[in-house]
Amino acid sequence: MPLFKYRALDRSGKVLSATIDAATSQEVREFLKGNNLVPSLIEQADKDNADSFLSQIFERGVDVKTKVFFTRQMSVLLKATVPLLDVIALLIGQFEGSFKRVLITVRDGLKEGRSLADALEDHPKVFDNVYVQLVRAGEASGGLEKILDRLTVQLERSEELGKKVSSAMRYPIFMLVVSFGVVIAASIFIIPAIAKTLQEMGTELPALTLNMIAFSKLFTEYWLWMLIGVSAVLFAFFKWKSSKNGKHTLDKLLLKLPLTSKLTKTSAIVEFTKTLGMLQEAGVNLSDSLSIVCDVVNNSVLAEYLREARSNIIKEGKIAKFLQQTGIFPPIAHYMIRTGEESGNLAQMLLQVGHDYEQEMEESIDTLTAAISPVMNLVIAGVVLLIVLALFLPMLEMSNLQGI
C-alpha cells in the first residue's frame, strides 16, 4: 500500500503534517475529512522519499539494533495480550525508512489472512530463514512470545560477538595501513632523493639499497601498472572467494592454519549448535532444521558435510556420530550432544554447547588480539629497519672509506 504525506489545517487553523499509508489520495482525503481536518497538500511520500520504488526493488537489510528493538517490542506487546495485527500497526510508527515500509507490507499481509511468518518471508534481506522458521514454529505452537524472546537474546549476542571481532581486527588493519603508508611515502619521497645523491657521488650501493631503489620505482615510474595489477589481483581474489570452490578451499585453509584454526572451528560450532538448538526447541522437525542450518552455517566445509550426511541423519534420527566425523567438533562437544540425544534433551544440550563455546570464542578472540599486537609491532619495526638500513648503509660505507 502506498505511503502518502499530507498537510492539513484543524479547526483552530493550526497546520498539521504527517504520513499515512492508504490505497489512494482520495482515501487520505476522506480520512482527513472524518477527523475535521482541511487538507492543503496530499502527495505520495515515495516521490521524494528514500523509500522510493527503486528502494523497494533493491531492498536492503536493516541493522541488528533495529531488528532487536522490533523483536523485543513485539514480544512485550504480545505478552500484554495485544492482538498481532495491532502490534504490527503500533510498531510501524516506531520506525522510518525502508523498515517502516517492510512493516506496512507485513501488516497488509496479516490483513489478508496470511501468517506472520509468511508475511516476513517476503523480505529475506531483512528476516533470514532462521528468523522466519522460528516465528512459524512459534505461531504453530502458540508460544510466539517465547520464540521472540529467544530471538532477541540471540540477535544481541550475535551483535556483541560481531563488535568484538571487528574491534579485534581494527588494530591489525590499522597497523597494516600504517606500514604500507610508510613504505609508499619512503618509496616516493625519500629513497629516490637519497639514491640520486648517492649515485651522483659515485658511491657503490649495497644490494639492499639497490633492491629498495628498484622497489621504489614501482611507485614512481610504474604506479599506473601497479594500480592495475593490484586491482586485478584483488578482483580475481574476491571473485574466487565468492565462488563455491573458492569459499570451500578458503574455509579448509582457515580450519588448518594454526592462527585461525581454533577460532574458525569454535565459530562453526557456535553457529551450528545455537541455530539447530533454537529450531529444535521451537519444534521444527529435524529434516527441516538441517536444511535451514545448511543454508545458514557460514563454514562451507561443515555445511557440505551436513548436506551429504543429511539423509542418513534423518534416517537414524541421530546427529552426534556424524558430527564427530567432521573433524570440527571436539570430543567433549560430541559427548554432550550424544548425551542430549540419549536423554531426549537434544535442544537444551545443543544450546548449552553453543553457550559454552560462545564463551570460549570470546576468549579466543581476546587471545588472538593479544597475540596479533606484538606481531604487528614487529612487522612495523622490521619495515622501518629495512628502510633505514637501505638508506644509511651506503653512507656508513662512504664515511668508513673517508676515514681510511
Is position 148 within any domain?
no
Percent of the chain with pLDDT over 70: 91
Q: Does one domain contain both 246 and 378? A: yes
Q: Which residues have CB under 8 Å from 195's CB, separation 6+?
A: 205, 209, 213, 216
Residue type, 288: D
Residue type, 141: S
- Residue 55's pLDDT is what? 44
The answer to whether 138 and 144 have CB atoms below 8 angstroms apart is yes
- Residue 47's pLDDT is what? 45
Is position 79 within any domain?
no
**What are the φ and ψ backbone dihedral angles of 222, each rounded to 5 degrees?**
-120, 30
This prediction has a pTM of: 0.67
Computed from CA positions of residues 27, 32, 38, 43, in that sequence, does the dihedral angle turn out positive or negative? negative
C-alpha of 372 from chain center: 22
Is position 265 within any domain?
yes
**What are the φ and ψ backbone dihedral angles of 9, each rounded to 5 degrees?**
-110, 135
Is position 105 within any domain?
no
**DSSP letter at 93?**
T
- Residue 45's pLDDT is what? 61
Q: Does one domain contain both 265 and 390? A: yes
Q: Does one domain contain both 168 and 40? A: no
Measuring CA to CA, how many Å separate 299 from each of 6, 167, 306?
A: 50, 22, 11
**DSSP letter at 154?**
H
Is position 139 within any domain?
no
- Residue 57's pLDDT is what? 44
Beta bridge partners of 7: 17, 41
Could you read off the pLDDT of 34-88 as tens digits, one per residue? 888 877 677 766 544 444 444 444 445 688 889 999 999 999 999 999 999 999 9
Measuring CA to CA, how many Å separate 351 from each of 166, 212, 309?
A: 25, 55, 22
**Nearest of 187, 218, 180, 201 to residue 391 by alpha carbon:** 187
**Nearest of 183, 175, 174 to residue 220 by alpha carbon:** 183
CB atoms within 10 A of CB 384: 14
Grid coordinates belonging to 229: 595489477
* Number of domains into which the chain is organized: 2
What stretches in the chain show pLDDT beneath 70?
A: 1-3, 13, 21, 23, 40, 44-61, 203, 397-404
Q: How far apart are CA 213 and CA 391, in angstroms?
A: 10
C-alpha of 306 from chain center: 23
Is position 286 within any domain?
yes
Q: How far apart are CA 251 and CA 300, in angstroms?
A: 7
Beta bridge partners of 323: none
Residue 32: domain span? 3-49
Is position 56 within any domain?
no
For residues 199, 203, 205 and 210, what is the CA-based torsion angle, rounded to 10 degrees? 0
Beta strand residue intervals within 22-174, DSSP E:
38-44
Measuring CA to CA, how many Å separate 132 from each of 93, 138, 223, 324, 394?
A: 22, 10, 50, 29, 68
**Nearest of 14, 18, 15 to residue 4 by alpha carbon:** 18
Is position 179 within any domain?
yes
